[in-house]
Amino acid sequence: MEKAPPAIREFSKEFALLAESVEVTPAAISLQEAYLHANVLTTGSRMDALHVAIAVVAGCPLIVSWNFKHIVNFRKIPLYNGVNLLNGYMAIAICSPPEVIEDESGETV
């Protein structure tokens, strides 16, 4: 987050109060390695693979991210989910913040 624009950092701080923290588990590391082995991402992006793996192993139904290169990427999402299913996990939805934020009228921004 340190490289994110100030508005994004502030936005993230607000929602961090509502977030649940989860630990890095051996299962998450194993799934991370499965993503890398399947060439979903390269070893240079292993932290992004771990981010997705932690969420999947923890049972999160959705990842919301600004990372369009390695996470919110229409080519990669089916690859993540293919690896998830092959490893006994559910598919996960992945989208950007504007896709899930509602304005005052209840409409998605």
pTM of the model: 0.81
pLDDT for residue 106:
64
Q: Which residues contact 106 (CB under 8 A, 6 or more apart)?
A: none
Look at the chain and count its residues. Answer: 109
- Report domain extents, the chain: 6-99
pLDDT, tens digit, 9 for 90 and up, residues 8-38: 788 778 877 888 889 999 999 999 999 999 9
Distance from C-alpha of 93 to C-alpha of 72, rounded to nearest angstrom: 10
Amino acid at 93: A
* 62 in Cβ contact with 92 (< 8 Å): yes
pLDDT for residue 27:
98
Beta-ladder partners of 108: 102
Amino acid at 13: K
- Which of these, 52, 55, 59, lies nearest to 33 by C-alpha position? 52
Q: In this structure, what token pair is assigned to residue 62?
A: 């959705």
pLDDT band for 6, please (50, 70, 90 cuts): confident
Mean pLDDT of all residues in 83-103: 92
CA angle 61, 48, 28 (to 5 degrees): 60
* 11 in Cβ contact with 97 (< 8 Å): yes
Task: For the chain, give the percent of residues with pLDDT over 90.
Answer: 67
